[in-house]
């Protein structure tokens, strides 16, 4: 199925439209702070940007948190049915950042203007069929051309933003060569890192690797590195966020993304590129849309080809410099403000077209 990108909000009249309208925007994000992940990040960044642009923003989430929320928008955690219904009734636009059946029903009941961003496939079975039936009443957004082709549902493609205020080049001193950022889970491919380092060692290369993140594979990975004599090359630093994460990324040359799964998009690639890393990884899912011209991707699972790519980058600083030189132009379209304005154009078109009746006019399809 073909995909169609929404025109940039800064285009013909886009920015002016946003200045003329101030809405009550209700965001549903089933996962949210304090958890860390793509959906959580996008929900926070766009909620902050909508609020900064003058909209009244409320976010509802099923995520527990026993500390006060300190965001420039209201957060309601684990709302009951009556409270959720009231919030949906009071809003101008309801945006679900990924489909969730537990929070979709008020939009169906009240026939509110409703937008759903799909961060992954809908799967199969009864729940998938139910989700497809529900989504027939919403305007659907995919976060990459890859996801649009996987879902065969929704023609709009708006890619995820990254935190461009935090992730930026701070230093040109890059004392470590390789960095991995992600959950230490099977699908993220961290288990390929020891073999990658061994292949590079066979070529007389012993780059330093920093592993940022945590998960079920951490203990096994640490033991594997110790048994293989790689422990002096690898530093496991756990989870890092915010300025601390940006500072760590700024001290590295190459971000390694060896994902075995089909990445829906790849915000971590944007964060690495913004901090001056070039990317080397497996070509999976929509990752190439995030990496763009700022890295090298090889076939999924081919660790030897990944070692070849990293060897070439380590031995050729000019190649690294050429990839870094393309970063600013590539990243501009993924800034929080750019993506927020694109979403607001979708909201504006939906409201102007009569809310739930405008799916076809916005390019929605099955």
Please list the rounded mean pLDDT of every run of 10 residues in the chain (366 residues): 33 45 95 90 98 98 94 98 98 97 96 94 88 93 84 76 97 91 96 98 98 96 96 96 96 98 94 98 96 98 98 97 97 97 96 62 39
Note the pLDDT of residue 152.
Answer: 58
Query: In sequence order, which residues have a C-beta less than 8 Å from that of residue 301 and are 6 or more positions away?
Result: 260, 282
Task: Provide the pLDDT for residue 255.
Answer: 99
Q: How many CB atoms lie within 10 A of CB 108?
A: 15
pLDDT at residue number 362: 44
pLDDT of residue 20: 56
If one counts every other C-beta atom within 10 angstroms of the C-beta of residue 348, the result is 18
Q: What is the pLDDT of residue 100?
A: 93
Q: What CATH fold (topology level) applies to the domain 176-332?
A: Rossmann fold (3.40.50)
Query: Going by C-beta distance under 8 Å and a sequence separation of 6 or more, which residues neighbour residue 121?
Result: 147, 150, 151
Give the per-residue pLDDT at 172.
Answer: 76
* CA–CA gap between residue 280 and residue 255 (Å, rounded): 6
Every domain of the chain and the residues it spans: 4-161+335-355, 176-332
User: Residue 212: which of 154, 169, 148, 256 has the closest Cα?
Assistant: 256
Predicted local confidence at residue 358, as pLDDT = 41
Q: What is the structure's pLDDT at 303? A: 98
CATH of 4-161+335-355, one of 3.40.50.2000, 1.20.1260.10, 3.40.50.720, 3.30.70.270: 3.40.50.2000
- Identical fold at 4-161+335-355 and 176-332? yes
The CB-side HSE value for 344 (13 A sphere, CA atoms) comes to: 33
């Amino acid at each position: 199925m073909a995909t169609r990108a929404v025109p940039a909000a800064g285009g013909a009249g886009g920015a002016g439209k946003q200045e003329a309208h101030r809405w009550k925007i209700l965001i549903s994000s089933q996962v949210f702070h304090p958890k860390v992940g793509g959906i959580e990040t996008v929900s926070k960044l766009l909620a902050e940007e909508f609020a900064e642009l003058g909209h009244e923003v409320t976010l509802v989430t099923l995520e527990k948190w026993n500390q006060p929320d300190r965001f420039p928008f209201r957060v309601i955690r684990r709302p009951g049915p009556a409270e959720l219904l009231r919030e949906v009734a009071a809003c101008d636009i309801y945006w679900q950042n990924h489909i969730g059946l537990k929070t979709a029903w008020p939009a169906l009941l009240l026939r509110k203007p409703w937008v759903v961003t799909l961060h992954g496939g809908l799967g199969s079975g009864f729940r998938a069929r139910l989700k497809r039936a529900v989504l027939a009443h919403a305007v659907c957004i995919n976060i990459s051309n890859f996801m649009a082709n996987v879902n065969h549902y929704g023609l709009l493609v708006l890619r995820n933003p990254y935190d461009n205020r935090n992730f930026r080049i701070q230093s040109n001193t890059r004392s470590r060569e390789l960095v991995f950022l992600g959950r230490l889970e099977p699908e993220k491919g961290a288990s390929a890192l020891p073999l990658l380092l061994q292949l590079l060692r066979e070529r007389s290369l012993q780059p330093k690797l920093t592993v940022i993140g945590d998960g079920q594979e951490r203990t096994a990975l640490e033991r594997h590195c110790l048994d293989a004599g790689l422990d002096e090359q690898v530093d496991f630093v756990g989870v890092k966020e915010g300025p601390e994460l940006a500072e760590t990324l700024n001290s590295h040359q190459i971000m390694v993304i060896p994902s075995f799964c089909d990445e829906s998009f790849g915000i971590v690639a944007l964060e690495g590129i913004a901090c001056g890393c070039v990317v080397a990884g497996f070509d999976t899912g929509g990752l190439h849309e995030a990496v763009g011209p700022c890295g090298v991707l090889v076939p999924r699972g081919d660790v030897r080809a990944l070692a070849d790519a990293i060897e070439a980058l380590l031995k050729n600083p000019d190649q690294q410099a050429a990839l870094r030189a393309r970063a600013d132009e590539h990243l501009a379209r993924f800034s929080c403000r750019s993506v927020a304005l694109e979403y607001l154009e979708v909201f504006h078109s939906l409201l102007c077209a009569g809310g739930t009746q405008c799916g076809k006019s916005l390019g929605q399809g099955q």
